[in-house]
């Protein structure tokens, strides 16, 4: 077997012992790697119903099927655990050198269980694993932690994924960072690490990476590399994803002031074009990337001129327009703080914007905000709240650290209606009321409302469908888009590379064969995508999911957009219900969103359901 090591490292933090478990070709081929393999291993290892922030949660790091090879944009890994935000599947992806080094240590995946007795970091040195004391790293930010561990080990080639203060203090949307600028960002992985007293994972790998057909793989990837540096990916290089600010503004789908509007009066001031002209210092790439989408921006004006960080659209949007902020220096500073503290910028922006609207409505007062003026656009208060959140300061900091769902439930007074989340995961930077396909994907998404796992915004914004019209056909469309995204996330290939394929399914399957030596057809890969979507849903069902949770915040139905190109748009409850029913039917699920036995059998998942203790309906329960 080429590329794959055929082995998984298991580490018990409580006992500080490790073991090696084999993993067979059949399982690797069925789940490929990344999110797919990570979810399968998590379902195997995790007991049902555990507290996501308790010692029994399990962390799985699963490598891409191409990390460290010449396949462009594919040096990535997935972090999978039960999410402390949603209580369901928490899968997130990060790129760059960490995954390449994990592959050079010859691991397909790493499974971490238990809770360390003290703050610790895990050092994996090829075949050996050590749990080391991290007392000296307590309170250190993600970037400094990387350097401190490399200094202690005395090897600059060691790669580190770490949490900052947010993870240590169990902020539910804490992330982890690696390679000073890449994050496993969504669903709270940093909080899971913090709950296990795990400050960081450091890896040193010295083994060669072997592929089945190096010559053909190299020749093919040289051609892909040239394509990926052409016009098909130009938008990601200049101005980068921040170019979406004006695109969304033009379509009236730029969520502003906590989704009160789809346009921002100061959009030009925070546009990607302006950032590129005045703030961007350079573009950089992840390991193995031929696109280089990462835009490193430097703030200029005091008191924020010490900030220098990569800024993407989602971060700029969440900490800018969503909070009414149009001071670019402040936005860059907020992004810098989130990256160093280890905070998901999207969730941070959404929860702060909710607090600002509560302040606007008088639900929260200065007595509740430690004297802060949470008026729209007050960037100083945004910065102050970030510090309070990561420290879980009593009052507003501790409230917001639990995410917008729990914060709104605690505060009440009608604030739940404008708490913008799906299943507990804060919404991303596209307005559902102006994008019907996207709205469906946000409602049914297994990790919560996530544009990366259910990218329905693409046909809506690209004009492939009428974005204002709800149709039953969107059910099949969203199902296909989810399978497509799941295949990318399991291989793992960056989705920014997607337009470089003429026929993704057949071409990606061929790359897989050249790398691993295992057979894979286009139909096989399609089945992988569908299998992964279903096993993630199976995980959620086991953890208590109900059909009522496939829904959207009340604002999406009750508050039509007031202005812009999407003015007057809202989602009708009966339309969303119709599309959800069509989606379940396209998936072959029951009318209640459950997976029938024969569907599981068709996807080779029957044994997983049996072992996980999930009761599944029989054929009679299938939706007509």
Tell me which long-range contacts 229-235 makes (C-beta under 8 A, separation of at least 24). 229/290, 229/291, 232/499, 232/500, 233/291, 233/496, 233/497, 233/499, 233/500
Identify the pLDDT of residue 624. 28
Tens digit of each residue's pLDDT (9 = 90 or more) over 215-256: 999 999 999 999 999 999 988 988 999 999 999 999 999 999
Identify the pLDDT of residue 621. 40
Instruction: Report the predicted TM-score, pTM, of the whole model to 2 decimal places.
Output: 0.97
Q: What structural domains and CATH numbers belong to the chain?
A: 7-204 (3.60.9.10), 234-426 (1.10.569.10), 432-491+534-621 (1.10.599.10)
Identify the pLDDT of residue 430. 98
% the chain with pLDDT above 90:
93
Tens digit of each residue's pLDDT (9 = 90 or more) over 123-181: 999 999 999 999 999 999 999 999 999 999 999 999 999 999 999 999 999 999 999 88
Tens digit of each residue's pLDDT (9 = 90 or more) over 64-112: 999 999 999 999 999 999 999 999 999 999 998 999 999 999 999 999 9
Look-up: residue for tokens 């029913």? 581
Tens digit of each residue's pLDDT (9 = 90 or more) over 289-333: 998 888 999 999 999 999 999 999 999 999 999 999 999 999 999
Mean pLDDT score across all residues of the chain:
96
Q: How confident is the model at residue 612 (pLDDT cuts 50, 70, 90)?
A: low
pLDDT tops 80 at residue 614 = no
Euclidean distance between CA atoms 318 and 387, whole angstroms: 17
Compute CA 517 distance to the chain's CA centroid, rounded to the nearest angstrom.
30
Identify the pLDDT of residue 607. 87
Tens digit of each residue's pLDDT (9 = 90 or more) over 427-449: 999 999 999 999 999 999 999 99
Identify the pLDDT of residue 414. 98
Tens digit of each residue's pLDDT (9 = 90 or more) over 575-594: 999 999 999 999 999 999 99
Q: What number of residues does the chain have? A: 624
Q: Mean per-residue pLDDT for 486-495? A: 96
Given a contact cutoff of 8 angstroms between Cβ atoms, the answer to whether 109 and 8 are in contact is yes
User: What are the strands, taking DSSP E only, across 173-302?
Assistant: 176-178, 182-184, 198-204, 280-284, 294-298
């Amino acid at each position: 077997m080429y590329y794959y090591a055929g082995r998984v490292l298991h580490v018990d933090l409580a006992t500080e012992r490790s073991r090696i478990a084999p993993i067979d070709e059949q399982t690797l081929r069925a789940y490929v790697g990344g999110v797919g393999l990570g979810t399968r291993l998590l379902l195997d290892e995790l007991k049902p119903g555990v507290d996501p922030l308790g010692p029994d949660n399990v962390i799985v790091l699963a490598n891409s099927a191409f990390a460290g090879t010449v396949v462009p944009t594919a040096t990535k890994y997935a972090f999978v655990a039960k999410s402390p935000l949603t209580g369901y599947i928490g899968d997130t992806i990060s790129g760059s050198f960490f995954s390449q080094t994990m592959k050079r240590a010859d691991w397909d995946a790493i499974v971490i269980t238990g809770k360390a007795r003290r703050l610790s970091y895990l050092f994996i040195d090829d075949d050996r694993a050590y749990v080391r004391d991290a007392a000296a790293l307590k309170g250190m930010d993600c970037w400094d932690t990387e350097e401190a561990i490399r200094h202690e080990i005395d090897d600059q080639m060691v790669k580190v994924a770490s949490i900052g203060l947010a993870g240590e203090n169990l902020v539910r949307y804490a992330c982890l960072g690696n390679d000073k600028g890449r994050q496993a960002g969504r669903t709270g992985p940093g909080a899971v690490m913090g709950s296990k007293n795990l400050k960081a994972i450091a890896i040193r790998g010295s083994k060669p990476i072997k592929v089945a057909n190096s010559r053909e793989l190299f020749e093919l990837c040289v051609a892909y590399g040239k394509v990926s540096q052409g016009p098909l990916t130009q938008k990601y290089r200049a101005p980068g994803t921040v170019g979406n600010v004006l695109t969304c503004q033009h379509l009236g789908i730029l969520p502003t002031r906590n989704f009160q509007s789809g346009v921002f009066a100061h959009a030009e001031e925070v546009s990607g074009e302006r950032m590129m002209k005045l703030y961007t210092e350079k573009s950089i790439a992840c390991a193995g990337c031929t696109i280089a989408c990462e835009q490193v921006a430097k703030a200029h004006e005091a008191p924020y001129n010490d900030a220098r960080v990569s800024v993407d659209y989602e971060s700029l949007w969440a900490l800018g327009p969503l909070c009414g902020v149009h001071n670019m220096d402040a936005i860059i500073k907020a992004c810098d703080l989130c990256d160093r503290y280890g905070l998901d910028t999207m969730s941070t922006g959404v929860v702060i914007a909710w607090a600002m609207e509560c302040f606007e409505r008088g639900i929260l007062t200065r007595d509740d905000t430690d004297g802060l003026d949470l008026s729209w656009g007050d960037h100083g208060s945004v910065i102050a709240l970030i510090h309070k959140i990561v420290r879980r300061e009593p009052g507003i900091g501790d409230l917001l650290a639990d995410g917008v769902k729990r914060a709104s439930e605690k505060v009440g007074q009608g604030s739940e209606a404008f708490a913008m989340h799906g299943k507990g995961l804060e919404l991303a930077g596209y307005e559902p009321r102006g994008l019907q396909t996207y709205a469906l994907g946000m409602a049914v998404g297994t990790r919560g409302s996530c544009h990366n796992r259910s990218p329905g915004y693409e046909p809506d914004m690209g004009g492939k469908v009428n974005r204002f019209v709800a149709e039953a056909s969107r059910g099949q469309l969203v199902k296909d888009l989810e399978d497509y995204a799941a295949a990318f996330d399991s291989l793992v290939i960056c989705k920014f590379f997607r337009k470089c394929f003429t026929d993704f399914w057949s071409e990606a399957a061929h790359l897989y064969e050249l790398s691993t030596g295992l057979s894979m057809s286009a139909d096989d890969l399609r089945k992988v995508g569908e299998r992964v979507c279903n096993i993630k849903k199976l995980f959620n069902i086991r953890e208590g999911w109900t059909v009522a949770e496939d829904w959207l915040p009340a604002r999406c139905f009750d508050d039509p957009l007031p202005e812009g190109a999407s003015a007057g748009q809202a989602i009708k409850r009966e339309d969303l219900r119709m599309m959800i029913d069509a989606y379940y039917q396209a998936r072959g699920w029951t009318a209640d969103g459950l997976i029938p036995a024969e569907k599981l059998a068709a996807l080779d998942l029957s044994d997983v359901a049996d072992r996980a203790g999930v009761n599944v309906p029989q054929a009679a329960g299938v939706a007509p």
